[in-house]
Structure 1
Amino acid sequence: MRRRTLILGGAGLAGAFGFTLGLGAWRSGDLQGSAPDATAANSRADLSRMAWRLIDDRGAPVGPQDWLGRASMVFFGFTWCPDVCPTTLMDIADWLEGLGPDADRIGIAMITVDPQRDSPAVLAEYLSNFDPRIRGLTGTPDAVATAAAAFGVTYARVPQSDGDYTMNHTSGVFVFQPSGELASVIDFHEERRFAVPKIRRAIG
């Protein structure tokens, strides 16, 4: 059974989360801290100076300039991620709830680090289990690498003993001002009482 189906199917995401978190501890290095944190990524990231081009989960082309004029939250992940990515997506949904009406004033995107498996359709299916305001972005391996480099994000394919593979990647959520300047980085599993004020300041 595909790991993504295992995470999202059955009794639903909420019921499966506790199980997949434990399973993911040995299937991925993320819980052991091998995934570099976004605080160590490019602190000078600026959307207005980036030049990547990707495709969203609806098949539309997207570039960093498309996000200017509105606050943005961006993180890197992949749909087969057993722990960090679903946790981050649920955290984002919680932050959006905490923002109230202001949540509609910010764009949110997950950029895949696994374009080989994460097509627009796969991203759309996966993200339908979370807040509908979160968009997924993918592209060719080179296009994804260009975007990751612009953010100062690192990722690596990690082979598994069963012939499958997982991905180690920078965790954390980049928060940008409407001008495109990086406002802050929300660390993995940062508490809502700290995360929401950071987002509000970026929204202005």
Structure 2
Amino acid sequence: MSKLKIIRYGAWAAVIVLAFVTAVTLITQVIAPSANRSTLQPAAIGGPFELVNAAGETVTEADLEGKPSAILFGFTFCPDVCPTTLSEMQGWIEALGPDADKLNYLFVTVDPERDTPQVMGDYVAAFDERIKGLSGSRQQVDAMLQAYKVYSKKVPLDDGDYTMDHSAAVYLMDADNRFFGTIAYNEAEETALLKLRRLVKETPEAS
């Protein structure tokens, strides 16, 4: 093989290696989570709210500060999504052990006309006492749904009753009530627990 061919092959090999390294770098930048978590917490999600707990006490975002939170929006007449997710939340609480007490757990109704504060309290009591049910007036609930960008729609049924279509994800907020991420409906338990443990770990106030 001539010296010129060797030089050419060497140059081609260098180009291929450079292209591969560049591609890997770009893929890593896209897939890998940013070291600055501010890119993962849109300011548009979350904000002030004022609701009522089962004891008739006013609850606001200030009552959550100091601990990160896992928030589910739903309603007590929900046939599957809400009871399934609350059962999963109960499992997360048990699996987290001592770390479970470092988080707030909320179930916020999207149907305050039927879900009074007392109804919400009785409903969540069947799962875990650390899960707090919240309701309020239609105006109060709608204000929180808007702040958290939660989809909710009343759907009429043939018998004259209605059901509610709504967002199914669990919203994760840090100890300063900033958006941290979500746990999807029916997400694998191992993945959900990783997110919750990361939320606790990355929140100094919860340590």
Q: TM class by shorter-chain length?
A: 0.7 to 0.9
2:55 equivalent among 53, 58, 77: 58
User: What fraction of aligned residue pairs are identical, expressed as a percent?
Assistant: 39
In structure 2, C-alpha distance between the alignment counterparts of 1:136 and 1:65, rounded to whole Å: 16
In structure 2, C-alpha distance between the alignment counterparts of 1:44 and 1:99, rounded to whole Å: 28
1:68 is matched with 65
The Cα of 1:43 is off from its aligned counterpart by 4.4
Which deviates further from its counterpart, 146-155 or 56-65? 56-65
Larger relative contact order (C-alpha < 8 A, sep ≥ 6)? 1
Consecutive unaligned residues in structure 2, runs of 5 or more: 1-40, 202-207
Q: SS where residue 100 of structure 2 aligns? A: helix
> How do residues 1-204 of structure 1 correspond to structure 2 at under 5 angstroms?
43-45=42-44, 47=46, 50-204=47-201
In structure 2, C-alpha distance between the alignment counterparts of 1:179 and 1:46, rounded to whole Å: 13
Is the 8 Å Cα contact of residues 114 and 167 (structure 1) preserved in structure 2?
A: yes
- The alignment's C-alpha RMSD in Å is 1.4
Task: State the Cα deviation string for residues 6-25 of structure 1 (Å, max 9, x = none).
Answer: xxxxxxxxxxxxxxxxxxxx
Specify the structure having the higher radius of gyration (Cα). Answer: 2
The Cα of 1:154 is off from its aligned counterpart by 1.2
Q: SS where residue 76 of structure 1 aligns? A: strand
Is the 8 Å Cα contact of residues 54 and 133 (structure 2) preserved in structure 1?
A: yes
What TM-score, normalized by structure 2, do the two folds share? 0.75
Consecutive unaligned residues in structure 1, runs of 5 or more: 1-41
Is the 8 Å Cα contact of residues 127 and 135 (structure 1) preserved in structure 2?
A: yes
In structure 2, C-alpha distance between the alignment counterparts of 1:100 and 1:45, rounded to whole Å: 32
Distance 1:44 1:187, change over 3 A: farther
Distance 1:46 1:155, change over 3 A: closer
What TM-score, normalized by structure 1, do the two folds share? 0.76
